[in-house]
Amino acid sequence: MPLAQELKPLEIDAYVDAVSLDAAVRALADGAGTPVAGGTDLWIQKDLGKRAYGRRLVNIRRVAALGGIAEEGGRIRIGALATMTEILESPLLLRAAPVLPATADRFASVQIRNAATVGGNIANASPAADMVLPLLCLDAEVELARWHENRIDRRRLPLAAFFAGPGKTRALPGELITAVSFDRPAAGSFGAFQKSGPRPALEIARVALCIAGRREGRRLTSVRIAAGAVAPTPIRCPRTEAEIEGVALDDAAIARALESLGREIAPIDDVRGSAWYRRHLAAAFLEEELGRVARS
């Protein structure tokens, strides 16, 4: 095959194969680099003309410090490079935060799960990002690093404060997501993820909902609710959480929670579904989860 068929002129100036965090953040320092890991969103968006590469394409896949899923001092840290398959199969997460593997199980397809990373799912900032919802319910923080004044500058930001709009985050220019971390949920916690779509694979959520908390009979405490594809970013629903917190769940309490949810979400009409249907589904998901508790 002639090379001309494959190479597009002047698309990037340089390709950097970073093997350390130091090298990666240096290559990204001027804000003109694009990090790539799984590439499952990036390449497709680039091909569709929805996202352009920076002048430098920085492959971070071989940066060991960005991988791994581990617990230290009661805090669980998932490296940015952890793939959906790694989350799905992690013994630690299956034990400590099974809602994450359960969500990974509904994520895209097996092939995409093998490549797609949690860092990428967060960085892509899709309103419909699946993995973001359980992380929001776990009060996760996103860990960031950049090259600043000749050293690696690190900071942590609540995930809930990280998204600025569809495809937009509050990361600084040159800043790289290194991990996402959260306190190990207390014993007896539960979490559930629901997503629309009859297709068991490769379904972009029309609506997704995650609920987490602790169950005490027919009451839920430490309630966390997150919803996807109902607003410009994945959102927490604090007023609905408060409505449910500590209340003995019955039909009337569930009806109040559904009403509150309806006020907190603001879905749109698009080719995947109408706003009406998104509201209808979000309510159905919450009703199903709360109903389970109410009937227990």
Q: Where does this chain bind other proteins (CB under 8 A)?
A: 1-2, 4-5, 7-9, 48, 196-202, 204, 206, 271-274, 276-277, 280-281, 284, 287-288
The DSSP call for residue 291 is H
Which structure tokens are listed for 65? 């410090």
Nearer of residues 11 and 17 to other proteins, judged by Cβ: 11
Smallest distance, other proteins to C-beta of residue 148, A: 37
Nearer of residues 186 and 271 to other proteins, judged by Cβ: 271
Nearer of residues 3 and 252 to other proteins, judged by Cβ: 3
Smallest distance, other proteins to C-beta of residue 111, A: 12
Smallest distance, other proteins to C-beta of residue 18, A: 27
Smallest distance, other proteins to C-beta of residue 284, A: 4
CB-CB contact of 225 with 137 (8 Å) = yes
- In b/e form, how buried is each residue of 243-278, taking b as 16+ CB within 10 angstroms? bbeebebeeebbeebbebbeebbebeeeebbeeeeb
Nearer of residues 187 and 252 to other proteins, judged by Cβ: 252
Q: At what angle do helices 275-294 and 251-264 cross, to 10 degrees?
A: 150
Nearer of residues 1 and 252 to other proteins, judged by Cβ: 1
**Residue 77 to residue 90: CA distance in whole angstroms:** 12
Smallest distance, other proteins to C-beta of residue 5, A: 5
Q: How far lies 5's CA from each of 1, 9, 39, 52, 85, in Å?
A: 7, 11, 21, 20, 34
CB-CB contact of 36 with 42 (8 Å) = yes
Smallest distance, other proteins to C-beta of residue 183, A: 33
CB-CB contact of 230 with 254 (8 Å) = no
Which structure tokens are listed for 130? 């699946």
Smallest distance, other proteins to C-beta of residue 8, A: 4
Nearer of residues 139 and 287 to other proteins, judged by Cβ: 287
Give 272's strand partners: none
Nearer of residues 214 and 280 to other proteins, judged by Cβ: 280
Which structure tokens are listed for 21? 């965090």
Smallest distance, other proteins to C-beta of residue 44, A: 9
Give 169's strand partners: 163
Which structure tokens are listed for 17? 């194969």
**Residue 210 to residue 289: CA distance in whole angstroms:** 9
Which structure tokens are listed for 237? 């629903």
The DSSP call for residue 245 is B
Nearer of residues 53 and 277 to other proteins, judged by Cβ: 277
